[in-house]
Amino acid sequence: RIGQWSAGTRVNLEKAMLPTTRMGGHIVSGHVDGVGTIRKREADARSIRFDVEVPAELRRYIAAKGSVTVDGVSLTTNALTATGFSLNIVPHTAQETTLADLQAGAEVHLEVDVIARYLEQLLGHTQDQRSQITPAFLAENGFWK
């Protein structure tokens, strides 16, 4: 997608959250973790509902009612689907971003939840590293049921 941009292409930019203010959004870094595809777009009351297909290697980082960034806009997912997630774009977001322009088949930049990535590493679910923090350790210490 970024390779298809030219002068005048509209993009979404969000101001960074300041560490001195109340946290009022998702923790995102502005990275692109992968490219997803809009599989379905439909009107849903006053909002636009999208079903987004996500590359298999990124699906484990996405949770229902969790955060995800689509084309630079931090959003909350509605639910998980077999191949990704669904979300609704409310009128304000549709008006202030480029998301209302998206149609089925469009590719979108995705950034997954950074906290999920850190948890994965801490729990030792990476191929190159095994952590001492395991589900058993967390359960023994009252952090996991």
DSSP-assigned letters across all residues of 14-73: -PPPPTTS---S----S---EEEEEEEEEEETTEEEEEEE--GGGGGG--TT-EEEETTE
Q: Which of 106, 91, 98, 92 is nearest to 41 (CA)?
A: 106
Q: What is the pLDDT of residue 131?
A: 61
Handedness of CA 28, 35, 42, 64 (dihedral sign): negative
Mean pLDDT score of the chain: 87
Q: What is the pLDDT of residue 4?
A: 79
36 Cβ contact partners less than 8 Å away, ≥ 6 residues apart: 52, 53, 54, 55, 70, 84, 107, 108, 109, 110
User: Which of 3-12, 48-57, 102-111, 127-136 is the least confident region?
Assistant: 127-136
Question: pLDDT for 50-103, tens place per residue?
Answer: 999 999 999 999 999 999 999 999 999 999 999 999 999 999 999 999 999 999
Burial of 136 (0-12, 13-18, 19+ CB in 10 A): exposed
Say what the pTM is. 0.80
The correct CATH number of 27-112 out of 3.30.565.10, 3.40.50.20, 2.40.30.20, 3.30.43.10 is 2.40.30.20
Domain boundaries, the chain: 27-112, 114-145
- Token pair of 73 as six digits: 């806009």
Residue bearing the bigger pLDDT, 2 or 118: 118
Q: What is the pLDDT of residue 28?
A: 78
Q: What is the pLDDT of residue 129?
A: 58
Q: What is the pLDDT of residue 125?
A: 61
